[in-house]
Structure 1
Amino acid sequence: MTVLIAITLTSVLVGAGVVVFTRDPARQAVVLGVYGLLLTVFFMVLQAPDVALSQLAVGTAVTPLMVLLTVRKVTQSKAQKEKDR
């Protein structure tokens, strides 16, 4: 069990680094969703299914979706302002 925890913890650490070093906001939202999935697996390995379910709902689905919608809205707003000039 300790080896499995070490493997999942390492994947979570690598995933965190990938999220931090991703520059494009849209790509970062997708990577954040994958990172949420890695955390979900980590919590399941630690035998915390309630935390894993919460992470799956919020960290994997809702937060990246809200970031993507915000990026889309900001991009459309900037394009509209440029068009109006």
Structure 2
Amino acid sequence: MTLLAPLAAAGFGLAMIGAALMALRARSTAVAVLAAGLVSLFASVLFLILAAPDVAMTEAAIGSGLTTFLFFYVLGRIRREGYDDD
């Protein structure tokens, strides 16, 4: 049981790096936004493993949820306004 937490933390850390690289290398903006949200979601689970539940809840709500929603909302507004100019 004692060895499980550091292994899980290392696994989620590697998953965060992988998702961040996917966000950087993505050709689509939507894929990049989803990958960035995934990084934040992995970070919230990592905070939970590290016994910081208040930080984990804040990261999940703001970082993963609200920020991803806000990015998609603004992306939709930009695309919609771009079509009106034509």
TM-score (norm 1): 0.85
Q: Which amino acid aligns with 1:7?
A: G
Cα distance, 1:2 vs structure 2: 2.1
CA distance, structure 2, for counterparts of residue 75 and residue 69 of structure 1: 10
The alignment status of 1:75 with 2:79, answered yes or no, reads yes
**1:5-44 alignment, distance < 5 Å:** 5-44=9-48
Q: Which has the higher contact order (CA 8 A, sep 6+)?
A: 1
Tell me the matched-pair count.
82
CA shift, 1:13, in A, is: 1.2
- Is the contact made by 1:36 and 1:59 (CA closer than 8 Å) also made in structure 2? yes
Q: Deviations over 1:13-50 (max 9, x none)?
A: 11111111123222222222222211111111111111
2:20–2:35 Cα contact (<8 Å) kept: no
Find out whether 1:65 has 2:33 as its counterpart: no
Give the secondary-structure state (helix, strand or coil) at the position aligned to 2:85: helix
Structure 2 spans left out of the alignment, 5+ residues = none
SS at match of 2:18: helix
| Alignment check: 8 A CA contact 1:29 1:65 kept | no
Whether contact under 8 Å (1:26, 1:68) holds in the other structure is: yes
Unaligned ranges ≥5, structure 1? none
